[in-house]
Chains A and B, each alone.
Chain A
Amino acid sequence: MKTILYILQKEFRQIFRNRTMLPMIFGVPLVQMLILVFAATFDMKKIDMVVVDKDLSTTSRQLVAKFDGIPFYHVSQAVMDEKQAEALLLNGESDIALVIPANFERNLIRNNNGQLQLLIDAVDGNSAQLIYAYSGQIISSFNKNLIAHWKGIPEFAPPTQVKISETYWYNNELDYKWYMAPGILAILVTIIGMFMSGMNLVREKEIGTIEQLNVTPVKKYQFIIGKLVPFWVIALFDLAFGLLIAWLVFDLPIVGSLWLLFGFAGVYLIGVLGLGLFISTVTDTQQQVMFVSFFFMMIFILMGGIFTPVESMPHWAQIADRINPIFYFMKILRMIILKGSGFSDLLSEFLALCVLGVVFLSLAIWRYRKTI
């Protein structure tokens, strides 16, 4: 036990003496929380629309005006044929083209049947769906008002039918930042933990001091714990710091228990740090550690459900995610912070994190060799 304390004392001295360490401890959370949370959004803020109005009637102009009146629709161009509209879709200046054929108004009045065409840039399928849904609603509401107008009633009042009243739970203003902040926090804690611990151990290999330690009676587990604890503390500190930023800057509500949150983070970090240390036991230079850690980070993050829901992934990917620590931590953070879930709601995630922690840490201790 005393041996571990001596190792810890030495590690903390070195960490606080290292000039790049403090900027990293404070800089990484600031940058990630202030830039990434705002940048990583799927909110539809602006839809550029090109209009091909071949009808040039009162009705067609009303329709265009209706779109233009909606804050996030930006009717940026009006062209005379589809070819030009397609060109604008192709070069990315427009997201959607609304094509109003000639005789739109006449057909509407005479045949009670008008036709419109929407061309949507669907490179990003998600956005395309959203744009289509929004536009459909706008046109349908326009249609209803048209009918109402003809019938001489001020606004379309449908006969009594099923009425839906909606409340969004847990994030009732649908603030995307609230959804992303816990995700970015998970990335933050993982990067700090995994990279710092791995780089630190392999640095001792590079400068050769590890050999001196290997001829001492220090036990493998003492050494690994001595390397783990400092970065465990730093990563938890950064979680607190990141949460504080989120709370101050975008009012992130923390519905659940902070104790529970940090308890889970503590267990999660044992696994992440264990993995970082394991990587450093199988590599020889800091570059190698960076490369291998980065490889795992990318996969963990992209499969972890931060940006895309895990439920939409193929079945095999969901199974593979069971060994992805970020997948659990992400879920846990969102559930505790936004929903206020308790320990019993997260029991299976807790057990999974325990298993991953034991496995990764054991791998690190097992693979660390005092004898080459």
Chain B
Amino acid sequence: MQTVTTLNSKMPRTLILDYNLGNLFSVKQACAHVGIPVEIGNSKEQIESASAIILPGVGAFPEAMKNLTELGIVNILTNEVNNGKPLFGVCLGMQLLFSSSEEFGFTKGLGLIDGTVEKFSIGNNDKKLTVPQINWNRIEGESFDNTPLDSVSQLDYMYFVHSYYVNASDSADVLTTTNYGGLNYCSTVNKNNIFATQYHPEKSGEKGLEIYKKWAEINNLIYS
């Protein structure tokens, strides 16, 4: 038993941050499937001691920021990430990383990446383009080498559900773009220790699972 305890204390441990928004279940299932040990929580201690953090999220930006603020974890989260802790943002969890959002008025974000969150404005020329976009769509970028997208091919399909998109100030932070209604918007960001996707890799089939796996391998998060 002693051995097991010792091993466990040295195990990498990824925190799925629960801020009372969105379905954590599917992210947890995807992590389990590719062998990432995770825990779900939102305490300061958990954020500090975690090897890495996944910020999921489905819902509205202002409510998400309100919840994070009420939990009193905005500063500790940004400090840990600024100090190099790996962070994986998914969907709303990606949008929260940016400076601000225009969803239901102006809301300040975590400010880890420069840029704003804006609403799709789709013209009436194509009735099939709906807001939210609820569909599979393609991602493309210059090179995926040595990023969590290493196993993904150009123009692979990922699953998207969103009404707002991020407009990144620095194109160097943009790993992929996706086209919706003629707009090429940022669908993956990759900046130092921060990786985030507008799509849901945990709902994008085997290709999506590969993204979690690669991210975990790059950050030594898989216990073997």
Whether both chains belong to one complex is answered with no
